[in-house]
Structure 1
C-alpha cells in the first residue's frame, strides 16, 4: 500500500510539474510575441504563468533556454522531443498524386508558420545583440531550411537543386508568411492555396504530373 501511495503521489507531482511547465511556455510565447525579447522579463513570465520566478527557472531554464524551447514547441506543436521530420504529418506528405502532396506540404507550412513565424522574428531581433541567441538563430534557420527542402522533395519524389531550394526558401519562409497574413490579411486557406501553387510553379512541374 505504501508503495502504491508513493507512486500515486509521484504521478501527481509529475502531472503538476508538466502543467506548470506548459503554463510557463505558453506565457513566454505570448509575451515574447506581444512585447519582444527585451520587453519580456522572467518576472513577467512568472506572473503570467501564475508561479514564482524560481519555478520558471526550475521548470524550463533561463530566458534564452525558454525562447529555444518555446520555438521548438511552436514548430512541432507539443513539448515532445520528436523532430518535425519524424512526425506523421510530415511523412504523410509523400502520399498521393503530385497536387495532393503539394497541398499537404502547403498545409503543414501554414500550420508551422502560424505557430512559429512571429517567434522566429523575435529570435532574429534578439540575436542582433546577443551572441548566444545569434548562434541559436543560425541553427534555427538551418533546421527550417532543411525541413522545407525535405518537404519539397517529398512532393517531387526527387532531390531539388540548390537553385530550386533557394527560390522556394525566398517565398515560403516565415517572413513572407507574416507579410501576407499580417499586412495583407490573407486567410489560412488563401495562403495554403498560394503556397501549393507556388511549389508547383517554381518547380516547373508539368500539368500531367500534378493531375
Structure 2
C-alpha cells in the first residue's frame, strides 16, 4: 500500500532552529524578545510542539541569520512521487505543507498546502524575499490578503503577486478543507 502525504512523517524544524540559536550564543530569551513572542512559545517551537505562523517563522529565521530554506532537506530527485513528498513545517495554523520540487537546485520553490477548515498562514501579514509568488487553488476556496486587501480564490483560480509585499492566506471556509499550490521564485532566502 502506498503512503499518502499525510501518512509521511514531517520534517521537524525545531532542532535546526535550536542548533542555530546555540551556534550564535543566543538564549531563548534573546530570540523571543527580538521577535516579540514569549520564551515558552519559542521553546515549544524548538521542541516541535507547536507551529508558528509563517510571519513568526520568518522572523525567527531572520533573527538567527538563517535562510528559511535551510530548514528543509535537499531533495536531489527531479521526479517526486506522491508517496515521496516531503512534509515540511513552513509555519501556519491547521495546515499541512509539502515541498514538491527539488529544493536547492531549483529556481523556484513549490509547496502544496492542505488547509483544514479555517487554517492558513496566520493572521499576521508577512513578506518573503523573492521576486514572484503564484497561487493555484486546487480544492475549496482560499482567501489571500495582500497589503490589507483581500481576494477570494475558488477552485481553479490563480493569482500572482510580489511576495515582498505584506500578505497572508487562509482557507475561506470554516467547514470544508482547501488545497493550494504555492510557487515562489526564486526560493526564499530570508
Q: Assess same fold via TM > 0.5.
A: no
**Could you state the TM-score of these two structures normalised by the residue count of structure 2?**
0.27
**Could you state the TM-score of these two structures normalised by the residue count of structure 1?**
0.25
Q: Which has the larger radius of gyration?
A: 1
